Chains A and B, each alone.
Chain A
Amino acid sequence: MYVDLDTIKLLWPELVLVLLATWIYIGGTIQQGRWWWGLFALAAYGVSGHAVAVGIVEANTVSGPLTPDSLGYVVRFTAIVLGALFTLVLTASARKELASETIATLMLLICGVMLVGRANDLVFLFVSLELVSIPTYVLLYLGRRDRATSEATVKYFFLSVLSSAVLLYGLTMLYGVAGTTTLVGPGSIQSELQSLSVDAGGLGSLTPVALVLIIAGLGFKMAAVPFHFYAPDVYQGATNANAGLLAVVPKVAGVIALIRVAVIAMPNVAEFAWHVTLVLALVTMTIGNVCALWQQNLRRLMAYSSIAHAGYMLIGVAVAMAMEASGGISGTLFYLLVYAFGSLGMFAALASLGSDEQEVSRLEQLSGLARSRPFVAGAIAVCMFSLAGIPPLAGFWGKFTLFTGAVRVATDSGGQATSVWFAVLAVGGAINAAIAAVYYLRVVAVMYFQPSREANFGTNVGARVVMLFAAVLVVALGIFPRSIFNATEHAESSALREKVAAQTIQRLEAIATSQQVP
């Protein structure tokens, strides 16, 4: 009934981040210096991560707007790791007098992702998503001070505000239908909608509208078609480090929010939902991959690649919508992790090559990199191969799980139409993976087979560490994918267990009331 001590305890890791970020804001006015605050922030992520790890033990306290399932834990650990890595990149590349602000704003952004990961309430979810968006605007603006950056920031700001409004519209509809803001659990949206039919002429017929608006609003965060058009322009205008941030962090938040709301909490429109998601997935992959083919600017190329990957993730979402406990959520999560580290490695490598005078943005600037900077070229090559999905690396396992998920729905589902749709989806995904390989391999070819040119690359130590870490992680996950698979599978079953438990409680209550009446 009240916000009690248990809730505060559950929120402890996020509270640590907010408190220490405020501390950095204030301290930054007194003590300037990059590494001072960078190391402080790393320590803060360490403390917060430790708090998350300790908190797992008391995981069965359900408290108000927070859900303690292990999907939340996977997201929070990922967010903390991403936060620490981006801190390293940004600390080394931010200007000295702005380092503390940049680091603290990033910390609040990461806190937002962690809150999205465990939100079980519409209001809470929305303000958490805004805690991802608002620091992003500030970070984009802090990145560099010129016309291109300002334009990119303003463009992102306006479109993001529009998408938030669309999402809010959808959430309002959902609240109007269900009459509660809790997502999953007894007396929640999920259990209310369970009994509402879409066609019966009741309020349930509003759910499809809510679904479309929610997918549209979150599609912007994921950079999925038709809300993808901002990505190339904005990435091009941002710095390499910030473009990496944009490519990874909002996508994590968007995918998790989509899973929490559209997949788990809206069971009565699942049929309609997977149709919409499936078409969006096909269109998003194809547009992203085809447009990426003729990009010369590296950040534009990565922007289209990030659009294409949003399409692959939507495959998993569609699978999860079409068939419960089909491994769709787990596949999406795994793919999200693999994509996040592959993309992060690429952007960190680009950031590490940039210097104060000049930053790497065009593809031909990388020519002959294998000779002048063999380590960087190697890391980029690993990330590119992983994003393309070439077998020994992590990206292969990501695509493999998603496609097998689609095939499983195609073979196991009863309906003829469903099988055809998902077969088309799996084939479309495979064709897209082939198209994608062309432009990823082109980057590798430029680095290894073209004559090297005179270039004064910078030495950004933080970004280089992150790049190597990401490359090693991508290789390691490719060889030992089982550990992460276990975590994501556990996350899926635990997220769905809440749902099943809620259904059981509701059924028992129904029986109890029916017995009381006579």
Chain B
Amino acid sequence: MMLLAAEVAPSFWHGFFFVFFALLTCGFALGVLFSNNIVRMAFYLVLSLGASAGLFFLAGAEFVGAMQLMIYVGGTLVLLIFGVMLTAQSRFISMKTPSGEWVLGVAVGGCLLLLLLSVAFQVKDWRTPRGKGGLSLEDSKTSSQIGMAFTGVRVDKLDQKNEQLAGGMSGYLLPFVIVSVHLLVVLVGAAYMARTKRRATATGAVG
């Protein structure tokens, strides 16, 4: 990936930002790994995920980039930091990882890294540098297409004439509807969790 960025000379800034965001992502990811303080870990994770959103923007996937910012940086991590703040006790704030778990973690993570690296280098397209005309930096406006696909219309495939092929291209309305059923279940579960806490203390006071 780094090699690729270096080869793309015509658009210097594209390469520059790629290296910049990639370094930020990797550096802060390592920061998460080597830090012992859970608040710092959360902060490093914010920066790492934010920088990877930058990579998505560079790749022209602005919808994914925006989602990355909104969901991970905006939602999940704020939740994480609030969770840490609410349960902040000294023994939870600093995490000491036993050496056995380090070995296990490095083994599992290392295997995945090796697998991904070896596979990534097997793909010829990704190894060979592109010529001068190979890179196009037009921005792809995918958000509205994705939005339409959620309502069941694949606007990017409307020109498909083949009935057989068109049949498999109905959008993502049904999955979108199923997600609302997920939310219903989650709400019921959350209501129950909130209710038990009160009841538990109430019965505790009586008993």
Q: A111–B180 Cα gap in the complex (Å)?
A: 14
When each residue 113-130 of chain B gets 1 if its CB lies under 8 Å from chain A and 0 otherwise, what string results? 001100100111100000
A152 within 8 A of B: no
Residue of A7, A105, A138, A205 near B174 (CB, 8 A) is: A7
CA distance A351 to B171 in the complex (A): 44
**Shortest Cβ distance from residue B165 to the other chain A in the assembled complex, whole angstroms:** 4
**Which A residues are CB-close (under 8 A) to B160?**
1
* Distance from B71 Cβ to chain A, minimum over Cβ atoms (Å): 13
- Residue A421, interface by CB 8 Å: no
Contact residues in B for A209 (Cβ distance below 8 Å): 115-116, 119
Q: Is the CB of A7 within 8 A of B175?
A: no
Smallest beta-carbon distance A240→chain B, Å: 21
**Do A3 and B192 touch across chains, with their CB atoms under 8 A apart?**
no
Inter-subunit contact B165/A186 (CB<8 Å):
yes
Q: Which residues of A contact B164 (CB under 8 A)?
A: 185-187, 505
B200 at interface by CB-CB < 8 Å:
yes
Within 8 A of A (CB), among B126-171: 152-154, 157-158, 160, 162, 164-171
The answer to whether A64 and B186 have CB atoms under 8 Å apart is no
State in angstroms the CA–CA spacing of A141 and B174 once bound together: 28
* B2 at interface, CB cutoff 8 A: no
Residues of A within 8 A of B169 (CB): 1, 64, 182
Residues of A within 8 A of B196 (CB): 145
**Are A1 and B153 in touch, CB under 8 angstroms?**
yes
Smallest distance from the beta carbon of B153 to chain A beta carbons, Å? 6
| B79 beta carbon closer than 8 Å to chain A | no
B193 lies within 8 A of chain A by Cβ: yes
Chain B CB within 8 A of A437 CB: no
* Nearest chain B CB to A11 CB, angstrom units: 7
Inter-chain CA distance A274–B172, complex, in Å, is 32
Choose among B152, B174, B188 the residue that contacts A124 (Cβ–Cβ < 8 A): B174
**In the bound complex, do residue B119 and residue A22 qualify as a contact, i.e. CB atoms below 8 Å apart?**
no
User: Helix, strand, loop or mixed for chain B's interface?
Assistant: helix
By the criterion CB–CB under 8 Å, are B168 and A18 in contact? no
Question: Does B206 touch A at the CB level, under 8 Å?
Answer: no
Give the A interface residue count (CB, 8 A).
51
| Residues in chain B near residue A202, CB distance under 8 A | 123-125
B95 at the interface (CB under 8 A from A): no
Among listed A129-137, A282-290, A304-312, A405-413, interface-contacting one? A129-137
Contact with B along A168-189 (1 / 0, CB 8 A): 0000000000001010011110
- Indicate whether A206 reaches chain B with its CB closer than 8 angstroms: yes
Measured between beta carbons, the chain A residues less than 8 angstroms from B119 are 205-206, 208-209
Residue on A nearest B108 in the bound complex, by CB? A226
With the chains together, A371 CA to B182 CA distance in Å? 47
Chain B residues near A182 (CB, 8 Å)?
168-169
A residues 1-23 with Cβ under 8 Å of B?
A: 1-4, 7, 11, 18, 22
B residues contacting the other copy or chain, number (CB 8 A): 39
**Known A-B contacts A123-B175, A124-B174, A128-B178; A187 and B122 likewise in contact (beta carbons under 8 Å):** no
A131 and B181 contact, CB distance less than 8 A: yes
A287 to B85, CA, bound (A): 41
For B115, what are the chain A residues with a Cβ–Cβ distance below 8 Å?
209, 212
- Contact A188 B168, beta carbon cutoff 8 Å: yes
Chain B residues lying within 8 Å of A130, measured Cβ to Cβ, are 182
Residues of chain A within 8 A of B154, CB atoms compared: 1
Asked if B106 is an interface residue, CB under 8 A from chain A, the answer is no
Given A22-B184, A131-B178, A209-B116, CB of A141 within 8 Å of CB of B165: no
Interface residues of A in 130-160 (CB under 8 A from B): 130-131, 134-135, 137-138, 141-142, 145
Least Cβ–Cβ distance between B92 and chain A, in angstroms: 15
- In the complex the two chains form, is A3's CB within 8 Å of B178's CB? no
Q: For A208, what are the chain B residues with a Cβ–Cβ distance below 8 Å? A: 119
Q: Which of B122, B184, B193 contacts A201 (CB 8 A)?
A: B122
CB of A15, distance to nearest CB on chain B (Å): 10
Contacting residue for A2 out of B116, B170, B184, B200, CB 8 A: B170
* Residue of B116, B153, B182, B188 touching A127 (CB-CB under 8 A): B182
Shortest Cβ gap from A325 to chain B (Å)? 24
Tell me, yes or no, whether B179 is within 8 Å of chain A by CB: yes
A310 to B134, CA, bound (A): 49
- Contact partners of A138 in chain B: CB under 8 A: 185-186, 188-189, 192
Q: Is the CB of B181 within 8 A of A18?
A: yes
Q: Is the CB of B167 within 8 A of A62?
A: yes
Tell me the complex Cα distance, A1–B149, Å.
10
A187-B168 Cα distance, complex, nearest whole Å = 8
Q: Does B67 contact A (CB under 8 A)?
A: no
B26: Cβ under 8 A from any A Cβ: no
Cα of A22 to Cα of B167 in the assembled complex, Å = 31
Query: Which B residues fall within an 8 A CB radius of A?
Result: 115-116, 119, 122-125, 152-154, 157-158, 160, 162, 164-175, 178-179, 181-182, 184-186, 188-189, 192-193, 196, 200
Chosen A-B contacts, 8 in total, with CB atoms closer than 8 Å, are: A2-B153, A64-B167, A134-B189, A138-B186, A145-B196, A186-B164, A202-B125, A505-B164
- Shortest 5 CB-CB contacts between residues of A and residues of B: A64-B170, A138-B189, A201-B124, A205-B122, A182-B168
